[in-house]
């Protein structure tokens, strides 16, 4: 079984509300940053190139369920893994912890798109070389 990539992040003042609790929207920024770290760990980038041009990964769905509050200056551990590699999309899972205490669980789905200047993104099949590099982080979905 594969293991997730663990990313560490500190909750900064700009991530919190007036009570010093991490704002719900900051979790989505942290998820995106963890996604980028996973791609880098695979030797990839959210902005890639192949023989036909640019490839990127617009998000089409994101959610986060919260079970406890993160606070200013907490160090968060974010375990990021891939729970689905489809024909044209990837779904990531993010588990947030502070000092081993579960805080939140998120998911994000991104679609593989061809990026051509002055045209809207067009979904394309995930290149085999890209999917193969991600497989070490593919885990079964949480039940």
d(CA 82, CA 90): 7
In this predicted structure, what is the pLDDT of residue 11? 97
Report the alpha-carbon distance of residue 123 to residue 55 in Å, rounded: 9
- What's the Cα-to-Cα distance from 23 to each of 74, 113, 133, rounded to whole Å? 13, 30, 33
Classified as helix, coil or strand, 76 is strand
Predicted TM-score (pTM) of this structure: 0.92
d(CA 121, CA 128): 20
What are the chain's domains? 5-136 (3.10.129.10)
C-alpha 131/C-alpha 84 separation (Å) is: 11
Q: Tens digit of pLDDT for each residue in 88-128?
A: 999 999 999 999 999 999 999 999 999 998 999 999 999 99
């Amino acid at each position: 079984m594969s293991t997730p990539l663990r990313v560490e992040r500190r909750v900064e003042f700009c991530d919190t509300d007036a009570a010093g609790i991490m704002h719900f929207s900051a979790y989505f920024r942290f998820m995106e940053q963890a996604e980028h770290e996973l791609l880098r760990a695979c030797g990839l980038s959210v902005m890639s190139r192949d023989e036909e041009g640019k490839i990127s990964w617009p998000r089409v769905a994101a959610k986060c369920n919260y079970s406890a509050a993160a606070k200013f200056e907490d160090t968060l551990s974010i375990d990021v893994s891939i729970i689905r590699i489809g024909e044209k999309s990837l779904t990531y899972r993010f588990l947030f912890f502070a000092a081993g205490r579960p805080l939140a669980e998120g998911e994000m789905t991104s679609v593989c798109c061809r990026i051509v200047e002055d045209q809207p993104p067009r979904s394309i099949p995930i290149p085999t070389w890209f999917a193969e590099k991600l497989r070490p982080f593919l885990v079964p979905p949480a039940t």
